[in-house]
Structure 1
Amino acid sequence: MREGSLVRTAVAPVLLGIVAVLLWQGAVSALDIKPFILPGPVQIGQQFAANIDNVVAGMAVTGWNALVGLVIGTILGILAAIVAALVRVVDGLAAPIVASLAVVPIVALAPVLYTMFGAGAETARQIVAGLAVFVPVYFNTLKGLRQVRPVHRDLMRSYASTRWQATRTVTLPTALPFVFTGLRIASSLAVISALIAEYFGGPVGGLGRAITSSAASSNYGLAWAYVLGSIILGLVFYCAALGLEKLATRRHGG
């Protein structure tokens, strides 16, 4: 069972990725696709290795902004969901507001935030990442908090438990899988949102600005090397969220 699970979760995706890269390189070589259209994996890998310091520096900037947004957005999303679950009026008032946040375009929001907080500050990028994180965490947590069966609530009342005791022992453990589902979705969104926000101004650092600068100078292999850095960063965030979920689930199960 464990070996089969390992193959499904690790080996199979790696093999699929290797096959996809080989097909990509074969298509680029066989069809003589120009680098400005699509560079091959070999060229991207060479540029990535040759500029590893710059790529890592860009990953550090984007990663920090994404991490700040992820932490703040997750905390606010969970707290808001708890309040909405406890107070139905708040739920009714908050639902359309949170839904509207989900459709706010980063293209329009980022320049406004740069004007508010200054073009030299990373604050705008962190806020964009936080807003992107808040929405899935809020909705998934709220859904999880509503999964408690009435019979379980009645049982806690029969034990004369307080609302906090019922929340701690029944409601939160039931909601935990939903919280981590939102967190896994949000982990990737945080990186994507922080990176996209870098396209529209702000400090020079970050993968987004590096991609646009490289593409503007027609160095497409380098631009794709920064794209590769953003993919790695997104995978790191996702795997960290998945690992945290496994750890929390194991401790709760124990």
Structure 2
Amino acid sequence: MRAAFGASKGLLPPILLGVFSLAIWQAAVVWFNIKPFIVPSPLSIGAQFSENFATVWSNSMVTGLNSLLGLLLGLVIGVCLALIAAMVRAIDELSAAVVAAAMVIPIVALAPVLYGMFSAAEQTARILVAALAVFVPVYVNTLKGLRQVKPVHRDLMRALAAGTWETTRIVTLPTALPFLFTGLRIASSLAVIAAVIAEYFGGPIGGLGKAITTAASQSNYPLAWAYVLGSIILGLLFYLASMGLEKLVLKGNSSR
């Protein structure tokens, strides 16, 4: 009971701040007569969101699936490459330039190129864009975590005649887990953002990015912002899911 009260008390300040910000936004639109093409009012966005909830939901499912597949692909590649780089110094040095280049690849330019490489009627390009956005934070944070193991712990495992896999499983991975999940929390939201941007610049019909483009081209700006609201909610759900997974795994790992 006390824990639930403490959690609700911690949520109260951000909720109040959010309500206050929306009230200021609504008042500014009314008082200054701000046109919808500049920024619609929260009430008009909320009305469009509720009226078109079925469409927002269906497009969110498309974007959510692309984001999830990209997240899983980027996570697997990032963790595997970080493990290899941590064990082989030469691989670490060779991959540093590649990772640095991946950090600065503009998604806006990459998405059309991938649509040209793969069929524009398929979701492949969107998944790959999301995977690239996920790969970098997962790789960097996981590799940093793998390097946190103290030499004395490695020496102890070596004295106990433990093999490379045993040392990795018992010492290295548990130490790196918090860093891995830090990267995953960052990457979970980036996967949604990258998928939305990739949808915005082409590809098959469906997805929040494509819906935003369509609504904006029809000058229905409150509806476009309603789809933006859908992408924000989707990104928050991905972030909360990654946080929940982190707490579950780390709690289970600490109880062993």
Same fold (TM over 0.5): yes
Q: Secondary structure at the match of 2:206?
A: coil
* AA aligned opposite 2:83: I
Cα pair distance change 1:141/1:15, threshold 3 Å: same
Q: CA deviation at 1:10?
A: 2.6
Verify: 1:208 aligned to 2:221, yes or no.
no
* AA aligned opposite 1:169: I
The CA deviation string for residues 71-118 of structure 1, in whole angstroms up to 9 with x for no partner, is: 010011000000000000000000110110111111211111111111
Distance in 2 separating the partners of 1:7 and 1:119: 46
Verify: 1:43 aligned to 2:28, yes or no.
no
Verify: 1:145 aligned to 2:155, yes or no.
no
Q: CA deviation at 1:12?
A: 2.3
Other-structure match for 1:94: 95
Q: CA deviation at 1:5?
A: 5.7
TM-score by length of 1: 0.97
Correspondence list, 1:32-111, <5 A: 32-111=33-112
Cα pair distance change 1:178/1:116, threshold 3 Å: same
Question: What percentage of aligned pairs have identical amino acids?
Answer: 60
Cα pair distance change 1:151/1:5, threshold 3 Å: farther
Other-structure match for 1:135: 136
Cα pair distance change 1:193/1:6, threshold 3 Å: same
Correspondence list, 1:217-228, <5 A: 217-228=218-229
* AA aligned opposite 1:126: I
Between Structure 1 and Structure 2, how many residues are aligned?
Answer: 254
The CA deviation string for residues 13-58 of structure 1, in whole angstroms up to 9 with x for no partner, is: 2222111111111111122111111111100000000000100011
The CA deviation string for residues 191-218 of structure 1, in whole angstroms up to 9 with x for no partner, is: 0000001111100101011101111111
Correspondence list, 1:139-218, <5 A: 139-218=140-219
Q: CA deviation at 1:253?
A: 1.4
Q: Secondary structure at the match of 2:122?
A: coil
Distance in 2 separating the partners of 1:150 and 1:45: 56
The CA deviation string for residues 144-169 of structure 1, in whole angstroms up to 9 with x for no partner, is: 00000111111111211111111111
Distance in 2 separating the partners of 1:245 and 1:139: 18
Other-structure match for 1:248: 249
Q: CA deviation at 1:11?
A: 2.6
Distance in 2 separating the partners of 1:51 and 1:193: 24
The CA deviation string for residues 121-164 of structure 1, in whole angstroms up to 9 with x for no partner, is: 00000000001100100000000000001111111112111111
Correspondence list, 1:229-244, <5 A: 229-244=230-245
* AA aligned opposite 1:83: I
Distance in 2 separating the partners of 1:8 and 1:84: 44
Distance in 1 separating the partners of 2:214 and 2:233: 20
Other-structure match for 2:124: 123
RMSD (CA atoms): 1.3
Q: Secondary structure at the match of 2:36?
A: coil
Distance in 2 separating the partners of 1:3 and 1:12: 16
Distance in 2 separating the partners of 1:221 and 1:180: 36
TM-score by length of 2: 0.96
> What runs of 5+ residues in structure 2 fail to find an aligned partner?
none
